[in-house]
Amino acid sequence: MDSPESITPLVYAPNLHLFAFHLWQGLTGEPDSQARVPQLLWERADAMLETLGFSERLHLYGYSTPSPEPPGTQVNLHPNNQLKLQGKLPNSELEITGRMLAYRLYDSYGLIVNFRRPEREEGEKTSEVPISIWRDLTTEKGMFLPEFVQSSLGQTLVLTAFLSKEDTDKSPEELEEFAHRCLRQLIPAKKDRPPLERVGEVFNSPIFEFGGQILDSHLQEEPDPNCHVLVWLFRKDLPSAKFIDSYRQFIDLFYYRNKALSAYRETRTLYQKTYDIYTQLEKNVNDFKKKLLKQQAQNQRLSEAQLEQLKEVLKNLSQLDLEYARLLRNYKHSRNTIAIHAKNYTVILENILRKLKEEKHPVQGEEIDFFREFCDRTCPYFQTRIADELNYFIEGSSLADKAVASIRGIVEIEQTQRDRLRQDQEKQLENTIQAIGLAVGTGAIFTSSAELLITKPWLSPWAADRSSYPHPFLIAFFGSFLLAAFVYFGVKWCQNRGKKGNKN
């Protein structure tokens, strides 16, 4: 905690603006794209009102009322368009006014909160107040900071005030320390304060941007969204009037900014998940190659157990490849989301200029160049980085596909060889059985006919009493073979007719 300054600067009509956005319906329809508590912003708004001592609550269509939300893509959810507030700060006699707005913006909710010290009271200009009013507003709970709001798409805090007369002509660089002192009132703890990122001017008034970057140097953890704070110091009434008259367009501007940042933050989480699976794929493929090379070096066939292991590796690789493809798809979806919202952001900048011209304000395009850097430099950087990472990861997808195809080919070849070997073995067994059967049959025929050799003597062809018929042994022996052949071919013919009948 910093030591308090001896002299607290004064400002006129200080304002605190919170622009917070929360996803309520995911585009992909997957569980991790859904907000866990879609109406969390409305609950946080009621907590803010309670802490600041207001009796009012945020009664909206679809929240604390039986009325459903109106249809449409951009809808004001408050029955009276806004909740107006007036009261005193806790433990203070200082009067403040405020308002809360609640929108449904496409797939998101937007909570806009404004608390301010009014410019006039009872027709008289209010006096300047210390910048400590911002500390009194946030209270010890840090109500308007990300840790309290917890919006899934992030938020932007804008502190505005009129400079005192002696500071009006100072350059932004000369007012830099003053902006830091304002930030210290909003965020007392030094470790929680975001760094100063940019200094410039909007509507010819100095503006200071603190934080709002994606800190992804340690990808093992969830990337830090980094609190985004703008300190905008008005020199005259005109810059404030321009901001008020284009307030609705600024809501859209911060919405598209936070949507693009949220999509990039999502890729930081996807990067780590994709990298982890890529590492697993690479390890599995390398292990497979080592085993295969070892097997080939030993000129060994795969055993049945090894073949089953190979099938298990194929199953695991296929599952990893499927999850890898899903992550890459989400990666590309986030990249496209950034591109879409960067274009939307550019369109809103032009809408701000058009709106101010409609309100008869003198305005030039360069007056909002401070905000153009996000769509001109930040988003293209996001796109380039994601494209480089995708090119790297796509190689992993190709590696997995090749490995799966290779293993599947090996399994099929090995299985075919095993089936062929089994068929050869079965054929040999069949031939052996047939040979044995033939031998046994021949032996049986010979045995049954051998008795004729004993009972019927074998006469010489020149013997006078020889018979005109062959010896009974020859008739029995060859007759048995002829009968066996007749039965064999008869059975085969019946079997073939049965096969043809089954096919028909």
Across 334-427, the runs of DSSP E, i.e. the strands, are none
Which of 159, 207, 164, 121 has its CA nearest to residue 10?
Answer: 164
pLDDT band at 90 (very low <50, low <70, confident <90, very high): confident
**pLDDT value, residue 464:** 58
State which H helix or E strand residue 422 sits in: helix 379-455
Q: How is the chain split into domains, by residue range?
A: 10-245, 266-423, 456-486
The tokens of 59 are what?
A: 């009664």
Q: What number is the average pLDDT over the span 297-323? A: 71
8 A C-beta contact, residue 479 and residue 445: no
pLDDT tens sequence across 341-367: 999 999 999 999 999 999 999 999 999
8 A C-beta contact, residue 204 and residue 235: yes
pLDDT band at 316 (very low <50, low <70, confident <90, very high): confident
This prediction has a pTM of 0.78
| Cβ-Cβ contacts under 8 Å for 409 (sequence gap 6 or more) | none
| Cβ-Cβ contacts under 8 Å for 372 (sequence gap 6 or more) | 346, 349
8 A C-beta contact, residue 25 and residue 43: no
Provide CATH code, domain 266-423: 1.20.1050
**pLDDT value, residue 67:** 87
Q: What number is the average pLDDT over the span 363-380? A: 95
**pLDDT value, residue 92:** 81
pLDDT band at 501 (very low <50, low <70, confident <90, very high): low
Q: What number is the average pLDDT over the span 38-63? A: 95
**pLDDT value, residue 147:** 93
Q: Which residue has the higher pLDDT, 458 or 16?
A: 16
Q: Which residue has the higher pLDDT, 197 or 447?
A: 197
8 A C-beta contact, residue 423 and residue 375: no
Most confident of 1-15, 201-215, 246-260, 274-288: 246-260
The percent of residues above 90 in pLDDT, for the chain, comes to 51
Q: Is the pLDDT of residue 220 over 50?
A: no
Distance between CA atoms of residues 316 and 377, nearest Å: 42
**pLDDT value, residue 499:** 56
Contacts of the segment 170-179: beta carbons below 8 A, 24+ positions apart: 170/206, 171/206, 172/199, 172/200, 172/201, 172/206, 172/207, 172/208, 173/199, 175/206, 175/208, 175/233, 176/208, 178/9, 178/233, 179/206, 179/208, 179/231, 179/233
Distance between CA atoms of residues 86 and 124, nearest Å: 17
Q: Which residue has the higher pLDDT, 220 or 433?
A: 433
Secondary structure letter of residue 226 according to DSSP: -
Query: Which bin fits 75, alpha (ψ -120 to 50), beta or left (φ > 0)?
Result: beta
Q: Is the pLDDT of residue 370 over 80?
A: yes
The tokens of 418 are what?
A: 């095993």
pLDDT tens sequence across 416-453: 666 676 676 776 776 666 656 665 666 566 666 656 55
The percent of residues above 70 in pLDDT, for the chain, comes to 69
**pLDDT value, residue 500:** 62
- Dihedral of alpha carbons 379, 385, 387, 389, sign: negative
Q: Name the pairing type of β-strands 95-105 and 196-202.
A: unpaired
Distance between CA atoms of residues 118 and 88, nearest Å: 12
Q: What share of the chain is helix, strand, coil (3-state, %, to 5)?
A: 55, 15, 30
End-to-end CA distance of the chain: 92
Residue found by looking up tokens 């020149």 in the block: 462
Q: Report the mean per-residue pLDDT for the chain.
A: 83
Which of 259, 270, 288 has its CA nearest to residue 407?
Answer: 288
pLDDT band at 29 (very low <50, low <70, confident <90, very high): very low
- Dihedral of alpha carbons 49, 26, 281, 314, sign: positive
Q: Where are the alpha helices (DSSP H) in 247-303?
A: 247-297
8 A C-beta contact, residue 175 and residue 167: yes
Cβ atoms within 10 Å of 14's Cβ, excluding its own:
24
Largest CA distance in the chain: 164
Amino acid at 499: K
**pLDDT value, residue 325:** 85
8 A C-beta contact, residue 232 and residue 199: no
8 A C-beta contact, residue 230 and residue 157: yes
Distance between CA atoms of residues 266 and 30, nearest Å: 14
Q: Where are the alpha helices (DSSP H) in 102-165?
A: 133-138, 146-149
Question: C-alpha distances in angstroms, 28 versus 104, 217, 427?
Answer: 19, 28, 58
pLDDT band at 1 (very low <50, low <70, confident <90, very high): very low
pLDDT tens sequence across 112-151: 999 999 999 888 999 999 999 999 999 989 999 999 999 9
Question: C-alpha distances in angstroms, 427 versus 11, 245, 435?
Answer: 101, 93, 12
pLDDT tens sequence across 389-415: 988 887 766 666 666 666 666 666 666
pLDDT tens sequence across 254-307: 999 999 999 999 898 888 888 888 888 778 777 776 776 666 566 566 666 766
